[in-house]
Structure 1
Amino acid sequence: MADYKFLEPYTFSKKGITVKNRIVIPPMTEMMSFANGEVTRDELRYYRIHTGGAGMFITAVANVNDEGKGFEGELSAADDKFIPSLTSLANAIHQNGTKAILQIFSAGRMTFSTVLRGKKPVSASAVKAPRENSEEPRALTEAEVEQTIKDFGQATKRAILAGFDGVEIHGANTYLIQQFFSPHSNRRDDKWGGSLEKRMNFPFAVIDEAQKAINKYAKKPFILGYRLSPEEVEKPGITFEDTLAFVDGIKNKPIDYLHVSMGDVWRKSLNDDSIKTPLNVTIKEHLGNDIPLIGVGDIQSPADAEKVLDKGIEFAALGRESLREPNWVEKVENDDEDAIRYTISESDHESLGLTGMFWDFLMASFKPGLQMSTDKNIDRSLFNNTLDKIFGGDKLGV
């Protein structure tokens, strides 16, 4: 077996839970759930095909309440009735020792009244997102903010009862938690907004509430992760300086890893040309050894993944590459790297479990980044940069 650092196990020091290697499958939107948020057979088939190699597999996002639904075909952890469905998903991922992580979120203003069955989208403030066809949300009341925080705790409880090994709080990609941190979407003057420090209150309260649920319900070590987008292109928006202050603050919170959402793991600033160091490198310097970092963004080959580890980043996440090659880890372990697929043929999508709305979504929004076998002249860097500018990361997960 090849001598790669990313194949070595890792133990989360705060919880004492060990994952078998440093490869992660990041959360990727697949739109295959039922309309009510329950898992479908096609969805379970996809997870069974793609799991088993990586140390951790983070699911597509699950909403924590009805107002948090962002799109059709989305998972839900908004009610106890979803626990059996979530259990089937955790069981599907648990092959060959892979840890199952449920990503949880609320879409906030990044949804539509049609998705919410007539209800108006909600956010930190009544500020419309600078996106085509976006709707002006209503501001959550203080009581609703408090309830939303509790909803994240309840979703964490359901993940525990369903047999997951952890949850990842989705604070990235312009969704509700990021909306509370952003000066563009948060114009509040109560304890949940205003200064940079107050804009951190909501995400930090969500983390604390999730940990309370873990303390109460978990019978074994349970991972708590957090995902963020390091910048926004909106004016005003989240700057990298803001993010570094957030990272310094989150070190005092009970999270087990930080996951930075970007289209290119080595991306520099979108807004400040004077920043010459890749953002992930600087974030890792701020985290030190206290909290491990997951790097994601166009990592394809074993050399790509090993470079991430060489820079001191503890985990390398394979998004689009894992769609093309579900046996990536196994082929590396078996010294069969020449057999790794770096393109995808349209004729193979059924056998890869990329079916129905998932395949339609990929073809409509992410085809340039999938590296179709028939496309000979795709510039991946242009696609990756576009993702970062649109989503502050990538809705797919990259």
Structure 2
Amino acid sequence: MSATSARLLSLSAATMLLAISSTHVLAQKKYDTGASDTEIKLGNIVPYSGPASAYGAVGKAQAGYFKMINDQGGINGRKINYISYDDAYSPPKAVEQTRKLVESDEVLLMFSALGTPSNTAIQKYLNAKKVPQLFLATGATKWADPKNFPWTMGWLPSYQSEGRIYAKYLLKEKAGAKIGVLYQNDDFGKDYLKGVKDGLGDKASSIVIEESYELTEPTVDSHIVKMKSVNPDVVIIFATPKFAAQTIKKIAELGWKPTMIVPGVSVSIGQVLRPAGFENAQGLLSAHYSKDATDPQWKDDPGIKAYREFLAKYVPDGNPSDSSLMSGYNIAETMAILLKQCGDDLTRANVMKQAANLKDVQQSTLLPGVKVNTSPTDFSPIEQMQLMRFEGENWKLFGDVLTGELGTGGSGG
């Protein structure tokens, strides 16, 4: 073989090697709209205004969390571009803002959109477009329906599951008690109501009054007066923060002392209990899945220490007693874990594949024993909660961590 032929052969081999290695690099890095070598775009809607504006803290915490991640170098070398718009808890506004995020901002996915009505309004659109609708800040049962909505996955424990936990407690500790239920007249409230009725089973007749209110009402005082006329021993308050606070306060003003239960979405000391008056909330019951940053039992906990440092630096106007900030932080942490797991395959299909493959994920601010788990047939990342009682100025956990049984799929009421 001549020297020229040898050089050509060597050059050819080098070219082939280069082509193979280039193909390997290309095979490793896959992107859909909203992802690149340098950036991952996440779209979000949250009510920064309107009747549920207390939940705006969720978006503020997430913006702070992703700024912290970016300051640390991003995820797999990519910065997170978190684009969050106000939908005022209005379904038509939610549709408008979501279309803007998908079609104009060109986000990779919709992340942690808040509220059952808003997510209901955008679910079919996102599934038709095959855009992930991930880690929703709502516990409606219908978000865990991979068969019919393979691009939608919730995050919070299911409202129906939580309702069944309260029913279990009442059957054991308050057998024979008359129960009154105040609920928001939408998917959110009806989902909770269904859960507690299912949990009570043949004892559901112990519910002596079901009183619904509209989100547009300025106050629920008249509903509470009506409920008192029936005088139930237990009042379950399936309401968002503003109305939960009003209810607790009005019950106290009436000199009425039933056992009261509020849902996990309305346990914020800053947004609910302080406005209602700590003295009016003594003995209040609920259930939760994450640590309370103001609870003395966690003062030396590494996860809570890191969380408080995060708030001080990235959400300086945030009050540690606002549990909505903790929710935003927790959901953002799950998203960061998921994106890291996606590696360099940032296609929408792989994002959903990895979202359905989270195994025993332990997060720093979830209660001991509560882990994030998903599978291709289980789109409910958090299924465990622990009961708690409000005493003094803090929630006190009691009993075991309970797992709510969830059906596959389901309707949201």
- Do the structures match in fold with TM over 0.5? no
Question: Highest CA radius of gyration, 1 or 2?
Answer: 2
Task: Pick the structure with more strand per residue.
Answer: 2
Q: What TM-score do you get using the length of structure 2 for normalisation? A: 0.28
